[in-house]
């Protein structure tokens, strides 16, 4: 016995029958489609221009601070300050590159950044606070 299968259709959807007049594309139908597509294409051209303007307004600068110091095995170097998300109340751990080179990087606005280093977020570096502009790279050798 031979079984025939019917194509599956979604429940509640009726299968549309096509007629010969629907199969042939007429020039009038083609013009209507082209007219409908043209305004959509023009609308998409305007959207990227708005995004580019917004990107210029929120341009951030990458600020990098490097400290060349050996803080001893098992100790960490922290940074405290103001600007770029830093705080004088709680330090942010810096990343150790090779045992003596510590890095801190942030994307910031145009505000200046003041900071100071600490060992284990407890022992302050000697000297005054350091202030740099957003987007600068500062390399120092702090003493404790």
Contact 99, 118 (CB under 8 A): no
Q: Which ranges of 58-127 would DSSP assign to H, the alpha helix? A: none
**Per-residue pLDDT tens digits for 58-111:** 688 999 999 999 999 999 999 999 999 999 999 999 999 998 999 999 998 889
Asked if 136 and 71 sit in the same domain, the reply is yes
Whether residue 19 has pLDDT greater than 50: no
Range of the domain at 40: 20-57
Phi, psi of 38 (to 5 degrees): -55, -45
Q: What is the pLDDT of residue 109?
A: 86
76, part of any domain:
yes
Asked if 66 and 130 sit in the same domain, the reply is yes
2, part of any domain:
no
**Per-residue pLDDT tens digits for 73-87:** 999 999 999 999 999
Whether residue 56 has pLDDT greater than 70: no
Asked if 125 and 80 sit in the same domain, the reply is yes
> What mean pLDDT comes out for the span 16-45?
48
Phi, psi of 110 (to 5 degrees): -80, 5
Structural domain count, the chain: 2
């Amino acid at each position: 016995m031979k079984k025939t299968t019917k194509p599956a259709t979604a429940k509640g959807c009726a299968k549309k029958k096509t007629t010969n007049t629907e199969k042939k594309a007429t020039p009038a139908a083609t013009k209507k489609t082209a007219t409908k597509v043209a305004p959509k294409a023009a609308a998409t051209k305007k959207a990227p221009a708005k995004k580019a303007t917004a990107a210029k307004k929120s341009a951030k600068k990458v600020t990098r601070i490097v400290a060349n110091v050996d803080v001893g095995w098992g100790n960490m170097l922290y940074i405290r300050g103001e600007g770029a998300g830093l705080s004088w109340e709680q330090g942010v751990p810096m990343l150790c590159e090779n045992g003596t080179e510590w890095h801190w990087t942030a994307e910031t606005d145009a505000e200046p950044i003041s900071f100071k280093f600490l060992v284990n977020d407890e022992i302050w570096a000697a000297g005054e606070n350091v202030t740099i502009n957003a987007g600068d790279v500062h390399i120092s050798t702090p003493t404790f």
